[in-house]
Chain A
Amino acid sequence: MKTVCLNFQVSLPMTLKRYRFFSMGLDHNYLDDTANRYATQRAARMSYLPMNALVASLIGEYGDKFKVSFTIDGITIEQLKAHAPEVLASMKELAKTGCVEFVGTTYAHSLASLTDKSEFEKQVKAHKKAIEKEFGVSPKTFCNTDMIYSDGIGEMTGELGYQTILTEGARHILGWKSPNYVYAGAVNQRQKVMLRNYKLSDDLTFKFSCKEWCEWPLTAGKYAEWIEGSTGETVNISVDYSTFGMTNEAPSGIFEFFKALPEAIMSRGMEFDTLAGSADKHQPVGVLSCPYPISWTDEERDVTAWLGNELQNEAFSKLYGLKAKVAKLNNPDFNYVWNFMQQASNFYYMASRWLGSSQGNTPFDSSYDAFINYMNILSDFDLELDAQLAAKKPASRAKKAAAEK
């Protein structure tokens, strides 16, 4: 029986505020609280709350025949906790039904997997702990930040106990192969690699509201037919959660579409399952090799959206240059900053496509603007780290001296 896996990526990056050189050494609040509250509450109101309610009612209707999975990073959990706790509450209710899988990811929606194994492991563990604490379940499947994956990343996550991993069904690594099967990792061949069907996923996110699209309007029946007609055993649809209600607003009919989807799928002899569940049911059909990192971003499906120009590389290497200091200080306030400074979005805003002008697609005027702002904050953070470390030293010496006495 063909399995359909629905995976929702819930991600609300923390936005950095406009931070001038003159603030360095004086102001250590780096976040744009207003923008973050606004973005979180807007997403909650337009998308997350109505969608959670819809998923809950579908589970109520179909019981354990309807299953979905969520990938929600630690920073997003923090944002929801601060600005829209009702979303977390409804997620908790969903978790209780047992029909919802929570997928492991990096805590800070970071790019640590591309540079630093120990930081990556730390973040994956921190995220697991946060999911267990919030939802009372332990993630079994892993999906890295923006689906970044390579053989090496597969190996690292295998060592962390994840036997299933979801990544992009990128054409350049698949070749003639279909994304609708389970594959085995190249290094750890016991690890199962699940691939996102980007065509069917993007139909929902980017085409659903597009009236020029020849398939518009997309109905649940038509969509289920497409799934039925595609070869393979497991069709993995993964979209940003805001696809429902924001990218496609309520009047587009996206909620009605989703409400009708379970019936349309099941009536065609297909079933829903979680990613972990589907990976258990189906055997790998082959080994998938991916020597260079891929992602779900851009036509290239690579990592150049975050690390593609000298601005990004400089900011990235300067950030991870501070790792030892942050670890040495190990102060919760500093660890908090350390987390949000690692967010992939910080580097995305410096991407080459915005070198001319960001045209309002990012909070900054251009990549240069984003870079300057980020480096100002990072420099202040560095200065503060040094100051705190210097202050810590004599204190510990004094303590030692006192103990000796």
Chain B
Amino acid sequence: MRVLMFGWEFPPHIAGGLGTACYGLTRGLARNDVKVTFVVPRAYGDEDQRFTNIVNASDVETDFCRRDEYTKEVWENLSYITIDSNMVPYATPEEYFERREEWLKQRETGVIQDSWQQRYTFSGKYGANLMEEVQRYAMVAAEVAKAEAGNFDVIHAHDWLTYYAGIAAKNVSGKPLVVHIHATDFDRSGAINPDSPVYQIEKAGMSAADKVIAVSNLTRNICIEKYDIDADKIVTVHNAVRFASNTPDYGERGVKQKIVTFLGRITFQKGPDYFVEAAAKVLKRLPDVHFVMAGNGDMFNHVIRRVAKLGIADRFHFTGFLKGDDVQKMFAMSDVYVMPSVSEPFGISPLEAMREGVPVIISKQSGVAEVLDYAVKVDYWDVDAMADAIYALVQYPAMAEMFGLKGYDEVTRLKWNNAAAKIKAVYESVL
């Protein structure tokens, strides 16, 4: 079986979990005898191509000025979005303003006109002209689908950024489309805004698809309830996680006291506030526990002020954004990992912590809660329960040990091979 897959990022050039998941998935599919051609807006040449053939959309020549029916449709549907593209997912406000200024400058000087030529260099990032890139990506997708005609049986598109690309490819080739929901606008903003361009793209993608894959039942329910998609069309395939075979030596651990960690973007979606309140409750009983918040985001400063106000700043530490090995080092240093997400379609980070033998506390509002038995599950808003669980894992070694050991076993059983087999079954169902 051959699949034409559209993604937005691919390791090692990633901003979030999407690229990592795509990589794991393509490996798993390769083991299941599925041949994948993976299109990214921008390839850098150092991607791991052992399991998939990477197509760089920036290298594909397209006549962006052509005026056939479909092109017109895409431009009409999308053009208004460009005008008010003041919405940049995954970008901090600072980044946003920086990029926006850059973009405005470009627009003034007319440099952007150059990109009307046949090749368009995608940034492949989440910037201010994201919507324009999404648009052009759809154009290129049609071109790729034409060029690859006869070389694929199914089209698979990951997250809203690529849905128009998927639809375009489907229109050109007539092959079935599978869209994969890794996150929804509902998770990011905490509410549904039907006027949001992202919501509309998501809905268009799901409606046009022959099958929809959701990363958890939680996300599947959102698709059914908030996007009004037929339940029979949506299949849940939980993510898996891929680990390097050997863990590097992280050196000596400096702090001997217990460390409780939060790691992720410090945004509303991730529930950093609840972690802070739970920390303050724990510190009232156990003044020698250290809490670490690793990451950055638009709630960063708010959280620092709250920590100062609660008077716990000597036990609550911030690392800022962590890169590369520091992430795994942070997990390895932790005694308890907490993911208090308000809404988390899946949530790969607790699995990475478990891989280091760290007991985890996760919110019931996360997709990963559906696949884990050896994790403490609490409601994200229930800071008392969260504090209680932290206290127990810090104070009772037997409990921490059980969660650590069993959790390690559990997480090593979550294989992309199995997830890929389920996805292969989805492909077969649409052929």
Spell out A's residues near B (CB within 8 Å).
Answer: 20-27, 310-311, 313-315, 317-318, 321, 355, 368, 371-372, 375-376, 378-380, 382-383
Distance between Cα atoms of A382 and B333 in the complex (Å): 19
For B252, the chain A residues whose CB sits under 8 A away are 26
* Chain B residues near A378 (CB-CB < 8 A): 314
Cα–Cα distance between A203 and B253 once the two chains are bound (Å):
54
Verify A24–B317 contact, CB threshold 8 A: yes
Secondary structure at the B interface, as helix, strand, loop or mixed, is: mixed
The answer to whether A368 and B319 have CB atoms under 8 Å apart is: no
B256 adjacent to chain A (CB < 8 Å): yes
New A-B contacts (11) at CB < 8 Å, excluding given A315-B313, A318-B311, A371-B313:
A21-B292, A21-B319, A22-B326, A25-B254, A25-B255, A310-B309, A314-B313, A376-B317, A378-B314, A383-B256, A383-B257
Chain B window 301-317, contacts with chain A (Cβ cutoff 8 Å), 1 for yes, 0 for no: 10011011101011101
Most buried by B among A22, A26, A380: A22
With A and B bound together, what is the CA distance between A318 and B301 in angstroms? 20
Does B318 touch A at the CB level, under 8 Å?
A: yes
B100 in contact (CB, < 8 A) = no
Q: How far is the CB of A322 from chain B (nearest CB, A)?
A: 9
A382, B326: Cα distance in complex, Å: 24
Can you list 17 contacts pairing A with B, beta carbon distance less than 8 Å? Answer: A21-B292, A22-B333, A25-B254, A25-B256, A310-B309, A311-B305, A314-B311, A318-B313, A355-B301, A368-B300, A372-B317, A375-B314, A375-B317, A376-B317, A379-B317, A380-B254, A382-B314
Question: Which residue from chain A places its CB closest to the CB of B305 in the assembled complex?
Answer: A310
Taking the closest CB of chain B, its distance from the CB of A212, in whole angstroms, is 30
B125 within 8 A of A: no
**How far does the alpha carbon of A379 sit from the alpha carbon of B314 in the complex, in Å?**
5
Partner of B318, one of A21, A25, A321: A21
B204 CB to closest chain A CB (Å) equals 39
Q: Are A23 and B305 in contact (CB under 8 A)?
A: no
Q: How far is the CA of A313 from the CA of B313 in the complex (A)?
A: 11
Chain B contacts of A318 at CB under 8 A? 311, 313-314
Residues of A within 8 A of B311 (CB): 314, 317-318
Q: Decide if A313 touches B254 in the complex (CB within 8 Å).
A: no
Whether the pair B309, A383 counts as a contact (CB closer than 8 A) is no
Find out whether the CB atom of B313 lies under 8 angstroms from the CB atom of A23. no
Once A24-B254, A26-B254, A311-B305 are accepted as A-B contacts, the answer to whether A379 and B292 lie under 8 Å apart by CB is no
A372 to B309, CA, bound (A): 14
Task: Please tell me if the beta carbons of A22 and B318 are within 8 angstroms of each other in the complex.
Answer: no
Contact call A21/B308, Cβ cutoff below 8 A: no
How many angstroms from the CA of A383 to the CA of B314 in the assembled complex?
10
Closest to A26 in B: B254
For A20, the chain B residues whose CB sits under 8 A away are: 319
Contacts of A315 in B (CB 8 A): 308, 313
Contact in complex: A372, B254 (CB < 8 Å): no
Residue of A nearest to B307 (CB): A314
